Structure 1
């Protein structure tokens, strides 16, 4: 049975190490050393270069072997096609035998990464139905039967996956709330890889997870190019200090409002785009949840004078007009952005397309700096 390795460090050491790494801009995950290599006596020939991601590291060994190490302590040895699992492999290391072409993808935010890598053929099973995908290539693949629905992450069809020779289950961090599911998949000899991109503090760190899947599919060069293209989009933003304030929200049927937590990656994208997120200190930093639900009155106090309102369509669906927004609460007509007509709605593909963080930041910057932006945006639409 494969088990995760648990590291225990004192609080003082943890704080010191984390601070040093953050200052140096390096990954929080240490590269493999001689004492922690996946195979006894092995030493890495090189390491994957990372710019923003802190939740993973990849080390390269002789013979094409690769070790992916996640911040939670789990390690995965990628074994090249036609090669054997090396002797001396440590018990807590999970083997990923290439070719990985029968993947069960339950982590929906990872689908776009495989799509951009031309790797949809490696995915045979999905944790979402065809109609739930806003990534057109994924929806088409399911409609054509090239990818099959195999149950949600917490209710997978074990028999289908086992009989279909599933060689890898890619989950998001929600699997941590369903440990019995992970255990059962492993009992069927299906390795479980937990995508931890959602834990990245930097928005571009999430996009950099394309390099992990590039390593699994031997497409590192393609992954580098896709990632670097998004970095360039952000670096090419000319006006970064717009002086504009922004509120990002959803209004629930109950009348309450869902906003992003301070320091969340969405608020960071707003800052990268040259805006100021109106909720500077909201939410528990130790809470893993990225959103906070508040009363409309509290939202009104903080956001009524915001220069720009961005309505998040991914929770309750999109809206098209100011009239729809005003119908949700009589207070909305008093907001500055409503009066000036500076209200936008996100596309529902926003959270499924983590490969385009640079474009998302560019879209936000455009609405902060241009009065004729509505026709040139990818992820935002102006309310009529």
Structure 2
């Protein structure tokens, strides 16, 4: 089983180009990625795993040389995981080009720089001076990563439910330095009109198609759309921070690139560690839904969380659910298939205040017969996990790795950051 899963993992990795670290692919450290790096790696295999182990199989060998030879052009691409936006940073020339999820194009132009005259692109001075958004991620999460007063100063409008998701934003909200502008389905256009921001960031909901049209045609306000929930990988989701930070200028873009590279390094490190495991435990990632009786919301095998499970050495028990779609199944079917899983990651409990074993069994008594509960490998998230997964990707990913293979890490799963172990 391990051999088959390892081959699947490596095949999956082979289709995931990378650009970070030194940057990854820049083996000779000359700040460029070219055939020279292939030659250098061929001649020098003692460069260290973090530099030379490009296929994450825990070794630096000729396979990495071949991998680099086939992919060095791709390694230079500015966007490498995210599939729902495009980006071409040219800050050395004074601008950055981005295209959002519905094709809106922007040139973020440094003050005094020459406009590259890209047809169809809206030109905004970077950093922008004002924005509004109707939900936490990725705009507010990126601001929290940057933790920069100048960045926070641009956030004039936020969603009704986002006032307490960021300590700094909450403080500014209480001091009337930022205001709420409605929610996902009930945008307060009058407030947005008063703010008159440089851009309003909207998501992927159908209601936001209507909102974009109204903001553009009636209020003359530019809109950028983000489809983070359509991204197929965790790294793709957090890479949206690059898109957002471009609106705040080159120095903030550089800071976010470092954040992203740190996450990419951590991901590769965790994959290498997983490759040393003796077996692949069966794992279930699930969210129960109570519609007058418990049913279970399961994600497709290509969902970003299930992909992380595979990358970090787990065998998703519901891997037969195709694509990144989701499926609701009845309790009997879920119990029959999930009861023997080695690991269960049981989401959604933050909505019910569930923290202990007794709380959990009161909510779902049938979990008492689950193997994962008896062996101490059933986990629930902390209430802020959906915020923290974008702010702190290195620890969020490590939690997944530790839940799947605690034996590979010092301290095992005894001190997770964003999940609680039910005992």
TM-score tier, shorter chain, comes to 0.7 to 0.9
Q: Does the CA-based 8 Å contact 2:245-2:256 persist in structure 1?
A: yes
**Residue aligning to 1:79:** 109
Match of 1:243 among 264, 271, 280: 280
Per-residue deviation, residues 173-229 of structure 1 (Å, max 9, x unmatched): 11x344221111112121111112222212111111211122211122101110111
Matched, 1:225 2:262: no
Q: Does the CA-based 8 Å contact 2:144-2:391 persist in structure 1?
A: no
TM norm structure 1: 0.78
Match of 2:242 among 190, 211, 231: 211
Per-residue deviation, residues 212-269 of structure 1 (Å, max 9, x unmatched): 1222111221011101111121222223445111112222233111222221011112
Unaligned stretches of 5+ residues in structure 1: 1-21, 28-46
Matched, 1:367 2:403: yes
Per-residue deviation, residues 252-290 of structure 1 (Å, max 9, x unmatched): 23311122222101111212222122111225x3xx7x5
Distance (whole Å) between structure 1 residues aligned to residue 261 and residue 255 of structure 2: 10
Give the Å deviation of 1:344.
0.9
Give the Å deviation of 1:113.
1.3
Match of 1:351 among 363, 367, 386: 386
**Residue aligning to 1:168:** 199
Match of 2:157 among 103, 122, 125: 125
Distance (whole Å) between structure 2 residues aligned to residue 270 and residue 224 of structure 1: 25
Name the SS for the 1:251 alignment partner. strand
Residues 235 and 73 (structure 1), Cα distance of their counterparts in 2 relative to 1, 3 Å cut: same
Give the Å deviation of 1:74.
2.6
Matched, 1:52 2:81: yes
TM norm structure 2: 0.71
Give the Å deviation of 1:360.
1.7
CA RMSD in angstroms comes to 2.8
Matched, 1:144 2:175: yes
Distance (whole Å) between structure 2 residues aligned to residue 89 and residue 243 of structure 1: 50
**Residue aligning to 1:93:** 121
Q: Does the CA-based 8 Å contact 2:101-2:226 persist in structure 1?
A: no
Distance (whole Å) between structure 1 residues aligned to residue 188 and residue 114 of structure 2: 29
Give the Å deviation of 1:375.
4.6
Matched, 1:183 2:213: yes
Residues 199 and 159 (structure 1), Cα distance of their counterparts in 2 relative to 1, 3 Å cut: same
**Residue aligning to 1:340:** 375
Which 4+ residue blocks in structure 1 deviate beyond 6 angstroms? 83-86
Q: Does the CA-based 8 Å contact 1:96-1:191 persist in structure 2?
A: no
Per-residue deviation, residues 115-174 of structure 1 (Å, max 9, x unmatched): 1123322211111335552x4333333333332111013322212112122111111111
Name the SS for the 1:281 alignment partner. coil
Name the SS for the 1:206 alignment partner. helix
Structure number having the greater helix percentage:
2
Matched, 1:103 2:142: no
Unaligned stretches of 5+ residues in structure 2: 1-13, 20-75
Number of residue pairs matched by the alignment: 336
Q: Does the CA-based 8 Å contact 2:94-2:113 persist in structure 1?
A: no
**Residue aligning to 1:252:** 289
Trace 1:154-165 onto structure 2 (pairs within 5 A).
154-165=185-196
Q: Does the CA-based 8 Å contact 1:318-1:346 persist in structure 2?
A: no
**Residue aligning to 1:8:** none
Match of 2:334 among 299, 303, 321: 299
Matched, 1:65 2:102: no
Give the Å deviation of 1:82.
5.8
Name the SS for the 1:217 alignment partner. coil
